[in-house]
Amino acid sequence: MNASHRRGACPGLSAPMPTGDGLLVRLLPTEPVPLDAFTAFCAAARQHGNGTIEVSARGSLQVRGLTPRSAPLFATAVADLEIAAREGVSVMAGPLDSTGARLGTDSAPHGSPPPCGEGSGVGVGKCGTAMPHLATPHPGPPPQGRREALEALLIDTVEVAAGLRRALDGAQLALSPKISIVVDGSGRLHLDAVPADIRLRASEPDPSPKFHVGLGGDAASATWLGSIAPSDAVHVVLRLLAVIAAHGSAARATDILRTAAHGSAARATDILRTHGVGRFHSTLETWIMPASSPPQRAPAEMVGLHPAPDGTFAIGIGLAFGHAHADALAEITRIAAARGARAVRPAPDRALLLIGVAAPDAADLQAAAEQLGFVTRADDPRCRIVACPGAPACASGLIPARALAATLAPTLGPHIASTRGVSVHISGCPKGCAHPRPLALTLVGTERGCGIVRDGTARATPDSYIDPANLAAEISRIAADTCEAAHG
């Protein structure tokens, strides 16, 4: 196993990334993980690493503290568990979307199918790729009498995502491993906050099902192109990826080595910024239909109780500031198994979903998770603070970001309790890896100490610097001022 890592690549099992506390690897499960497999995963992280397991903002599992000798052993141990996962270009569906809850039957294809393999060696329609229907939990049942008609029209985002993964495996496209695709449904645990190069968002079937197609950013900042028929999803996404790959292959000479090693360095936002949306529209004239941007939705709260169609619950627990020890994760998995849970699913926003818990056991399992230090309530102030590992775990860290977050959470709590989503970012250095977008308050490590940035990112020039000895009191005052300003 090659432990070297260039910035821009992703630290998968086959390419660990050096950090301040050893090597880091990342695993993005594409299906719920059986409880016994997850328990064994935790044991392997403890045996071969330093026992720290993280869930990223995108829902990836990360294991820290591996060594050049132990990383291959860890990779072998995980391979033996047969956890469904993917390296390279990611294709994400909603964390509770499930083919097991699929409703309805396949719909007839929309329009004329594209020629098989056009442009990439992979196609739909005449190639026989079926595009079934949605299994995303719907926000409330439709009125009686319309239920059967609507169920037959819903799009199965899990199957669409699976079809895209198969297509990517067969496509000859040189793409950055950081390219990501989101296939989103209409459930409460949506993926609007997850940035993606290409975003498919299922719409209500009025009068027929369709996907809104967006490029770059999250759902609020994406450039929306229009809508497509579900049966065209694989072909359209491959065409959009071909545009990205073509621009990456025309990289400057200084980028050739990186492109050869890791695929195209181009991203959708780069092309939009440099060439505009026309580069993408011109390749989709046959399939894209004019459509307004999809409506904004309330932020998804992964932490909490989430009812499933079969009468059970998925219990969302947060990892405080994105990390936990393998022993604590193994213990909550054991307790979940004793209460009838079937699987665990890493979820966006640094959470885990314990799936298949009967209603009478849900409260007990939540209480056990809270005792182990997990976040169990959506109004917990730790849900509003995002922090990178910081020093010493990250070689770039100038302040101990997570330790500061744990210390400051009680101080910040009263000021951020009524907010929704993340409002405070504590970053070990100006790179701002944990949250690249602006927030009301950012505390960033600098050579001059703890810098304060208001309404900006960790890369911005701090408005002021705080003496670490007065950190808690000063942060409390600043947070109060920021909260007062935000509420007018």
Of the ranges 24-28, 40-44, 118-122, 448-452, which one carries the lowest mean pLDDT score?
Answer: 118-122
- Mention every residue, 6+ apart, whose C-beta is less than 8 A from residue 214: 196, 198, 199, 200, 201, 222, 223, 224, 225, 293
Give the model's pLDDT for residue 56: 94
Number of Cβ atoms within 10 Å of the Cβ of 447 = 8
Query: Averaged over 338-354, what is the pLDDT?
Result: 96
What is the distance between the alpha carbons of residues 167 and 124, in angstroms, rounded to a whole number? 9
Query: Averaged over 379-385, what is the pLDDT?
Result: 90
Q: Which of 484, 488, 349, 471 is nearest to 411 (CA)?
A: 471
Which stretches of 7-159 are assigned E, i.e. beta strand?
Answer: 17-19, 22-29, 33-34, 52-55, 61-66, 85-86, 90-93
Q: What is the pLDDT of residues 200-236, one digit of tens each?
A: 999 877 778 899 999 999 999 999 999 999 999 999 9
Q: What is the pLDDT of residues 403-413, one digit of tens each?
A: 999 988 888 87
Q: What is the pLDDT of residues 92-104, one digit of tens each?
A: 999 988 633 332 2
Which stretches of 223-293 are assigned E, i.e. beta strand?
Answer: 223-228
pLDDT bucket at 249, cuts 50 / 70 / 90? low
Number of Cβ atoms within 10 Å of the Cβ of 438 = 16
Does residue 109 carry a pLDDT above 50? no
Query: Which one-letter amino acid corresponds to residue 26?
Result: R
Burial 119-144 (b: 16+ CB within 10 A, else e): bbebbbbeeebebbbbbbbbeeeeee
The end-to-end CA distance of the chain, in Å, is: 55
Which residue did the predictor score with more confidence, 26 or 172? 26
Give the model's pLDDT for residue 145: 45
Query: Averaged over 436-460, what is the pLDDT?
Result: 92
**CB 421, CB 437: distance < 8 Å:** no
- Average pLDDT along the chain: 82
Q: Which of 184, 187, 234, 189 is nearest to 214 (CA)?
A: 184
Q: Give the residues across from 345 on adjacent strands.
A: 353
In the chain, the domains with their CATH numbers are: 17-86+311-373 (3.90.480.10), 96-281 (3.30.413), 383-486 (3.30.413.10)
What is the distance between the alpha carbons of residues 26 and 71, in angstroms, rounded to a whole number? 12
Cα–Cα distances (Å) from 299 to 47, 204, 349, 383, 447, in that order, read 37, 19, 11, 12, 35
Q: Which of 359, 318, 358, 353 is nearest to 96 (CA)?
A: 353
Cα–Cα distances (Å) from 81 to 30, 37, 74, 289, 323, in that order, read 14, 6, 11, 43, 22
Give the model's pLDDT for residue 132: 34
Does residue 254 carry a pLDDT above 70? no
Q: How far is CA 338 from the centre of its chain?
A: 29
Q: Give 412-417's long-range contacts (Cβ < 8 A, gap of 24+).
A: 412/381, 412/384, 412/385, 412/475, 412/476, 412/479, 413/381, 415/476, 415/479, 415/480, 415/482, 415/483, 416/381, 416/384, 416/385, 416/479, 416/483, 417/379, 417/381, 417/384
Phi, psi of 342 (to 5 degrees): -105, -30
Q: What is the pLDDT of residues 272-320, one digit of tens each?
A: 988 889 889 888 888 999 999 999 999 899 999 999 888 999 999 999 9
Helix (H, G, I), strand (E, B) or coil at 228: strand
Does residue 247 carry a pLDDT above 50? yes
Give the model's pLDDT for residue 476: 73
Give the model's pLDDT for residue 70: 98
Phi, psi of 29 (to 5 degrees): -65, 140
Which residue did the predictor score with more confidence, 4 or 469? 469
**CB 166, CB 238: distance < 8 Å:** no
**CB 448, CB 468: distance < 8 Å:** no
Query: Averaged over 154-170, what is the pLDDT?
Result: 91
Which residue did the predictor score with more confidence, 288 or 105? 288
**CB 252, CB 308: distance < 8 Å:** no
Radius of gyration of the chain (CA): 23
Q: Which of 368, 375, 278, 266 is nearest to 320 (CA)?
A: 375
pLDDT bucket at 125, cuts 50 / 70 / 90? very low
Give the model's pLDDT for residue 282: 82
Phi, psi of 309 (to 5 degrees): -60, -25
What is the distance between the alpha carbons of residues 381 and 361, in angstroms, rounded to a whole number? 26
Of the ranges 168-172, 325-329, 413-417, which one carries the lowest mean pLDDT score?
Answer: 413-417
What is the distance between the alpha carbons of residues 262 and 264, in angstroms, rounded to a whole number? 7
Omega cis (within 30) before 392:
yes
